[in-house]
Structure 1
Amino acid sequence: MRTIFIIVLMLVCMTGPHELCAQTYTPVAVTGFNNDVVAETGTSATAVTSCVLDLSNYILYTAAFAAANGIAGGVPNNGAIINGVRNYQLADYAGNNGLFLSQNGAVANTAAAGTLTLVTPASFNKISLLLFSTEGASTISATLNFTDGTTAAGGAMTVQDWFGGGNAVASGFGRIARAAAGPYLVDGFTTSNPRFYRFDISLSCVNQSKQLQSVTVNFLSGGTTFPSRAVIMAVSGIPATPLDITAVVTPAICGGADGGIALTVNGGIQPLSYSWNTTPVQTQPTATNLPGGAYACTIVDAVGCTTVFRDTVPLQSQGNLTVSSSEDSICAGAAVTLTAAVTGATITDYSWQPLNTSGATVTTTPAASTTYIVTAQDAFGCKLTDSVAVAVKPLPAAAFTVTPAAVCLGTVQTITYTGTAGPTASYNWNNFSGAAVQSGTGAGPYNILFSTAGNYSLELQVTDQGCVSAAATRALTVTAAPVVGFEVSDLTPCAGTATIISFTGNVSNAATAAWDWGGGTVQRGSGLGPFDVVYTNSGAINLTVTDGACIVTATPRQVTVIPVPLAAFSPDVTVGCPDLPVVFTNQSQNADSWFWRFGDSDLSSEQNPAHTYTVPGAYTVTLVAGAQQQCFDTLVETALINVQPSPVAAFTVIPGLDTELEFSEALFSFSNQSSGATAYNWDFGEGNSATEANPQHRYGLPGDYRVTLQITSEIGCTDTTSRAWLKIIPDKVLHIPNAFSPNGDGINDRWEIAGLQGIPGCHVEIFNRWGQRIYESIGYAHPWDGTWQGHLLPLGTYYYVIKAKAKDKPYAGWVALLR
């Protein structure tokens, strides 16, 4: 009776859309709606929608809009449309929430076709569109688009008008005219209108495994009197779930038929039917009484989708095979013996894997832990199998490092274990070759110290889980520290002079030296020396000697370089006359002592001496500049100072000395008798001078005069001599001209009276013929030029009166003024 019921139920499910075997439709979120056809809030329907749905300007509205405007009806505020196993979710009322279509898109705000795209592609058994038509029925078609680029026809459907149609999914929401403000008149609410319908699309078994990308809806036809419109409001679907099959296989005894395969199947569209390829055909999830072999079960779900499950029932021998090993675990490199034994059956052959060998007993040396499988075949041809695991323990590695491998005696060496071993391993360091352990246990690290120099060999052997490593050795060298030192021949050398550096230590022939000369330049030497090193600047000498592993630094020595003095000087004068004083300016550098030789047996140790040369001649001057009484520099200036003989002043005069001469005749001629002179300066004793070698001079007044001559040589040396007296007396008789011609020709332009200028107290008067005085002077320093009051006088004769001295008789007479 149960079998008959399942068959009837499957026939019902497979022959039509019967809700008895229907699964639940769940909402599918999509995009692609082109209009807002639901008024959801406020009091203005035009403010919250984008278009009308029919020629009567009707639109849908929500229960919230109804409450706000005091009317009944309205689609649910949450947009959920539920009818039995069908669940639809209307799109957000605040945006586009309807796909509005008409033939060729001829109606305003509609399109000829539209595509609703899944927000998340998924696999489905069925897809359902929630929709209705206005202004009569409309015929549409649907196309399914998959993510792999394939498509499938969803068929065509005539969608009933939203008023009065049958088999509605939901109805009775009411409709209102789209207006800017109420009052709104509800239409259809009391007659269970408008109505929503469904367009169900079944996916083929092949397409159920694909990811649905979108659904394209095309408006085909509709309307007789007026063009109809189709409105798609939501998409829902039944998700596709592939079959999940698990099997429990029971082996069959060799030569018998007691095997079986038990299936547990979940998923798919229930109920399921089963068909095994057995004789007779078995139709239950579990197939029994099976001999060994391959089997297939064909599973068909409620919508006819077929899945074929395949498995094999193995044969099981009646015998019992066991395998054992001589050791469960061995050290790497050791051998193990494997033994197979069978009871309850006759064995014809053994096969060992992964050894790829035969025989009941085998011996092998595994490189790593291995599970060995032995297979035996009984007389019925059935296979018996058993296995045994052999664990291979790795040999510990006894590797280690010594840092540093070569050291100077007294230096700690660090031993670091670098091998591999387990936490329980033991380590045999063979007493570290006699070194004292400063720190460390077990695997280390260790710090060790040898007490004597020499070459040593360290050895380590590790034991881990009974496995012993090969011995590892490392060679060590311990070197005795050398004695290092050096001597410097001169720690305060003059700059630029060589200093000898000699090594004084005790080292082996293999020792190497690293010298730091502190800025010195090696002139000679290598290795440990000796060296000739020239220093121009002070510096420290450092020596580091490497002897084996020992590196020893000697006590550094400081070389203090004395800068070499540079002798230099200049005299304030190099040429002069005897008793020539010379001041020497010392321009030496880096000097703190001085020694002078002036070339005339005189010496000095002053820094800037002054010296007087009294004897003519050429003198060589020598300066020795010293620094710290150790470094010297000598400068010799040959014939630097030249002292030349002084000039000798001498002269004679005509007329001679102490001879009285009348003023008008007192013209003196001087004859220069000097030697070595190039310049002359005559002082005539009355304020006048001359620079000629042999001058003449006329005195302006009577008197006794001393004449002095100063001569100067070419190098500026001078000498002076003087003579006295030149005696000049006034003229005893004046010689007065009786005519002169003041015409500007330079000849007799003035009335010159010889001897009168020598009488400074004389009185001269000149009168015209009318007795008018036209000239008067006391003294005759400026002879008359024939003018009166700045004007030339006319030609003629003029009377004069001259008194030379008050007690003398005056001179009187006529003088003619000519042109």
Structure 2
Amino acid sequence: MRRGFKFISIVFVSLLIRFNVTAQLCQGSLGDPIVNITFGSGANPGNSLSAATTAYQYFSNDCPSDGFYIVRNSTSGCFGDSWHSLSVDHTGNGNGYFMLVNSSFEPSAFYVDRVKGLCGNTTYEFAAWVVNVLKQSACNGMGIKPNLTFSIEKIDGTILQSYNSGDIPSQSVPLWQQFGFFFTTPASVSDVVLRIFNNAIGGCGNDLALDDITFRACGPKIIPFITSNPSTTAVVCQGNARSFTFTCNVSAGFNNPVFQWQQNSNNGTWTDIAGATTTNLTKNFAANVAVGNYNFRMTASEYGNSASLQCRVVADPLTVQVVTNPLPNTTNSGPTCENTQLLLTTTDGNQYAWTGVNNFSATGSMVAINSIQQNQAGKYFVLVTNSNGCTHLDSTVVKVNPLPTAVVNFSSATICTGDNIQVKSSGGVSYAWLPASALSSDNVADPVASPIITTQYVVTVTNQFACVDTASVLVTVNEKPTANAGPDKTIIKGRSILLQGTATGQSLEYSWLPPVYIDNAQLLQPLVNPPADMNYILTVTSANGCGTATDIMHVFVFKDIFIPKAFSPNGDGLNDTWKIPALAAFPAFELSVFNRFGQVVFQNKNTNLPWDGRYKGVPVPAGVYVYAIDLKKFPGILKGSVLIIR
């Protein structure tokens, strides 16, 4: 491609596509490549051609000009992005080199190489991979297309075979195409010359990459198979002795064919098997054969050429894979306790078949046995199968420990407030009580409980196997009774009054002493009407055995309402206040005292406080004062006067 050309750049995603042009390639079986020119691998740029020759000049950077070439593992954005960007070689190797060519203006050979060591009278396949690196949009869509002639020549220049690729069109993405043909060497020829000639002229286009040039012997089609095996690979589990018969069907092509079986291990070097010279091969695999891939293939050649590997064609390999058996790690989560979950686990497979005690069966790498019992203890087996179909029988022993039986000395009890009770448990070697509050100890078998409210205690009993059981004790707390006979009362003789006794506790019984002048001595608040002052004693008894409580009150009995006519508030300690005790029998009374001007100088409602002869803290003058007392009940309003003497 001429550097001076300007192009409209269209960006394509760099893809790597391979396409075989099979019309001229070998249709039979091929030998190993006797020539395999990959141009090597490494960092950019690669070295110039050393064995092959070319009229082109080596270019050390990307994007060579017309008549130049470069060896690289990638190319990108050349000439205004008119070339495809190649990030890997034909095989997809990111470090693999390919030859990148910008063709010269005149048609010429850009690759010439001498191929040595061929066998006479042998058919070979020549093949090479080529990609047109010019984008379809470049050169206004009129880019010059590479047109290659591949020729195989004798050393003197006599052409043995040639092949023309025709115009190699540009593609929307990089398209690697394989071109090739087969040729037959004369009896005396062992060296030939490979010449790749570009028939197109230079200019805008005619740019290409070349990779993976091979020469391989071509012969009859050899079809291999393993007797009684559906594929070309057989699998043997280690430890199992097996025997396999390998067979090849060979089409016509050799006049006097010679066969030779070869083998390698783990893709190592192929070596001939002594005496294995027919189309059948039987191999025995002992039980102790090492794990690995054992490959076998048959080679074929014309009689007289069989000693040279370069003259042979080979069948596709047949493989015996000796694979490892599963090596499971089978365990269980025990020892465990009765009524708990136990897990069986194993590894190193993709199928698992468990068997065990009491006709147990299950599948899976992890199996749960819920609420396990002692009669389920014993040996459990698992057949582990891996992805290769190899098996291993493993086992694990399950141990199930018994549970303790938590025993308590009683399930429920009742105490009174302030009392205590000893709770006892047995059946294990250690004990834990909850809640721990109000216990003398929470980790002994027989603590003393002193709860102040009703409490349910739960004890966890543990045996020597660390298995546990629980039991509970309900301690009901009843309050001890309290008694309050209420405030002292005042009545007028002949009248009755309601006592205001109160009590606390449960299941209480009440009684008053003496049981006289009382409507019901078993009521908490009875009516009484004693004829004279009397003490009443309230007794509160707990019917659930939490004792008794007593209290006393006094009933004051007045024959009438006595109202003093005078008092002397002079501080001598005698008659210093005006007090009417009987008013206590009339809790709703209202009392008012007026001076001679009708002004209220003292008031008393409900409290029956005495008057000290003051008004607003100042002593009132001596003299007569008028009072009015509204008793709010019979006999109604009382009026009169009181004399203050100073």
RCO (CA 8 Å, sep 6+): is it higher in 1 or 2? 2
TM range (shorter): 0.3 to 0.5
* TM-score, structure 2 normalization: 0.44
